[in-house]
Amino acid sequence: MSERAEQTVVVSGAAQSQIGRRLMRGELELTLEACLAAIDDAGLSRDEIDGLASYPGKMGGPAGFSGPGTPTVQDSLRLQLNWHRAGPEGAAQYAPIIDAVAAVAAGYARHVLVYRTVTEASAQKGGRSGIGLDGGGGGVPRMDGELGQMLPFGAFSASNWVAWHCQRYMHEYRLSREQLAQISLNARRNAALNDQAIYRDALTLEDYLSARMISTPLCLLDCDVPADGATAFVISAADYASEMKQPVIRFEAVGSALHDRPSWFQRGDLTSMAATDAARHLWSRTSLKPQDVDVAQLYDGFSWLTVMWLEALGFCEKGGAGAFIEGGEKIARDGVLPLNTGGGQLSGGRLHGFGLLYEAVLQLRGQAGKRQVGSDPRVAIAAAGGGPLAGAVLLARQ
Amino acid sequence: MSAEPKHGGVNGQAPFRVLPKISDDDRPFWTGGERGQLLLPRCKNCNRWHSPPAPLCPHCLSKALAFVPLSGRGKVYSFTINVQAWNPTFEHPYVIAVIELEEQSDLRLVSNIYGCSPESVEIGMPVSVFFEAFEDVWLPLFRPLVEEGGSDE
């Protein structure tokens, strides 16, 4: 068989805006800052961008969540597009990445700009809240779909939905809070070396165990931190590689599968998630194996989701994640699987999967500064999503 | 059967609950509680239930569906004790559980468990349904199953 579609596509540009808490800057300003930097990083001009994609596109919902829509970004930069898309459905936050890879491979576009912007920290400056609720009263719309089956019972937050999975896993397998804590502690150690990260102060196991509970078994330090910031990539046809000024990072495989029910509580086995399906799909599209991965950036909107991805991607056996992360040595920057090396979302800020992918690109380019993994990483994986949402990409330095 | 909401609130008030948007497909499910019935569609062709209600049987694609009362008994498949006060009209902490109904292993609902301390809830615990009305919606709530002559508080 000829090479996979993914392998004809490269990441030519990657950049971020200012990242922080409550920057009080506009979402479009942050977006354009990241987009223009990514186009420059790719050695391109905006006239050469002929594709545009984002997640989730402009939508209502939690304030600061969606960022600007693609029409706004297109018009702001006066882009002439052959292909464009955005939407909240699909392979989680990486749907626009995975779709852009396909669009480039199919020839719909040659250089696709992909961005994700959040301003949740500024939007939530009055306090963190669940979905559409701050004490009731009239005017709250009725919910349909799965939200209509969960919200009436006070399951307002994704922390509740994720907690069901973690609780069931702890019932069936061995996972202690001390083990789970290692995801958060590892992230904080890495964040200390990342000037863009939001929380950089030292964190101890005692801090974790004494943090207030949010939704059992998840405590505050199992939850990521709302942030403001934009991340952008340029995804290009591989024949552009010879003109690139940056090291060439090629797509090796993507995973977008969802085989079980698309639900936060109806999946047959709640000790697995859509991540399990997407991971299997990804490995079916490459000859590389989990042991070939040099650095992993796995979604940590909640610490439990990282554990889920570790198992789903085969870095440890089913039920073996607790033992794998115990003590944190294996997932440290000098461990067998350097994990969330920029501090992830738990300490770096909730850039909704795009910060993780950015970190993967930096590590493969050897541009991660003080936190650069020393083993000259050539293969990286980035994965985003939880529950019924999952998308993953495997990247390799050419 | 309870009708007036009395569980889960503070200061004797009912909690403010976001309500489901009722459709023709799921109206019997959300309103069956008025007659004390937990109703889900059962396929006359393959005899299997499904949830949430849909216009076709997702197992065999038959349209021959009928809402049939369930026993209202089930087990806790998983749960969480919510501590964070997302909504201050709820009494905290409270249990949000994924309930597996006894008729079929893949028949699950999300609900609350009242009538016991949150700390006493565990996976596998038998529970039974009761209903409380909020506007035109009869929400199925659960309490620990009491065999034979259990009280209704």
Task: Tell me if A266 and B108 make a contact (CB, 8 A cut-off).
Answer: yes
Is B107 strand, coil or helix?
Answer: coil
**CA-CA distance, A116 to A153, in Å (whole number)?**
31
pLDDT of residue A132: 42
User: Closest Cα partner for A249 from A74, A351, A347, A378?
Assistant: A378
Question: Within an 8 Å CB–CB cutoff, is residue A173 touching chain B?
Answer: no
Question: Within an 8 Å CB–CB cutoff, is residue B137 touching chain A?
Answer: yes
Question: Within an 8 Å CB–CB cutoff, is residue B101 touching chain A?
Answer: no
Nearest residue in chain A measured CA to CA from B26? A144
pLDDT of residue B149: 54
Q: Which residues of A touch B84 (CB under 8 A)?
A: 157, 159, 214-215
pLDDT of residue A3: 79
Task: Tell me if A216 and B81 make a contact (CB, 8 A cut-off).
Answer: yes
**CA-CA distance, A193 to A286, in Å (whole number)?**
33
Which stretches does DSSP call E strand in chain A?
Answer: 9-16, 51-54, 83-86, 111-119, 213-215, 218-219, 228-237, 249-255, 295-298, 379-384, 391-397
Within 8 A by CB and 6+ apart from B135, the residues are B19
Measure B97 CA to nearest chain A CA, in Å: 8
The per-residue b/e assignment along A210-221, b for 16 or more CB within 10 angstroms, e otherwise, is ebebbbbbbbeb
Strand partners, A393: A254, A382
Question: Within an 8 Å CB–CB cutoff, is residue A124 touching chain B?
Answer: no
Give the DSSP per-residue string, A347-380: HH---TTHHHHHHHHHHHHT--GGG--TT---EE
What are A42's two structure tokens?
Answer: 């790719």
Domains and CATH numbers, chain A: 5-124+225-397 (3.40.47.10)
**CA-CA distance, A101 to A182, in Å (whole number)?**
34
Q: Are A207 and A188 in contact (CB under 8 A)?
A: no
Residues 28-47, chain B: which have Cβ within 8 Å of A?
none
pLDDT digits 0-9 by tens, B31-85: 999 999 999 999 999 999 999 999 999 999 999 999 999 999 999 999 999 999 9
Q: Which residues of A touch B98 (CB under 8 A)?
A: 164, 265, 270
Task: Give the residue from B75, B106, B110, B121 with the most A CB atoms within 10 Å of its CB, the best one to mutate.
Answer: B110
Q: Are A216 and A359 in contact (CB under 8 A)?
A: no
pTM, two decimal places: 0.95
Task: Give the residue from B82, B90, B107, B108 with the most A CB atoms within 10 Å of its CB, the best one to mutate.
Answer: B82
Q: Is the peptide bond before A338 cis (omega within 30 degrees of 0)?
A: no
Question: Within an 8 Å CB–CB cutoff, is residue A232 touching chain B?
Answer: no
Q: Are B67 and B32 in contact (CB under 8 A)?
A: yes
Measure A169 CA to nearest chain B CA, in Å: 9
| Orientation angle between helical segments A70-77 and A27-41, nearest 10 degrees | 60
Interface pTM, i.e. ipTM: 0.95
pLDDT of residue B127: 98
Q: Which residues of A touch B82 (CB under 8 A)?
A: 154-155, 157, 160, 214-215
Task: Tell me if A154 and B86 make a contact (CB, 8 A cut-off).
Answer: yes
Low-confidence ranges of chain A (pLDDT < 70): 1-2, 125-139
Q: Are A57 and A73 in contact (CB under 8 A)?
A: no
Residue type, A373: V
Domain boundaries, chain B: 27-144
pLDDT of residue A135: 41
User: Closest Cα partner for B92 from A160, A204, A146, A196?
Assistant: A160
Task: Tell me if B16 and A137 make a contact (CB, 8 A cut-off).
Answer: yes
pLDDT digits 0-9 by tens, B92-149: 999 999 999 999 999 999 999 999 999 999 999 999 999 999 999 999 999 999 876 5
**CA-CA distance, A344 to B131, in Å (whole number)?**
43
**CA-CA distance, B34 to B69, in Å (whole number)?**
13
CA geometry: angle B57, B62, B67, nearest 5 deg:
55
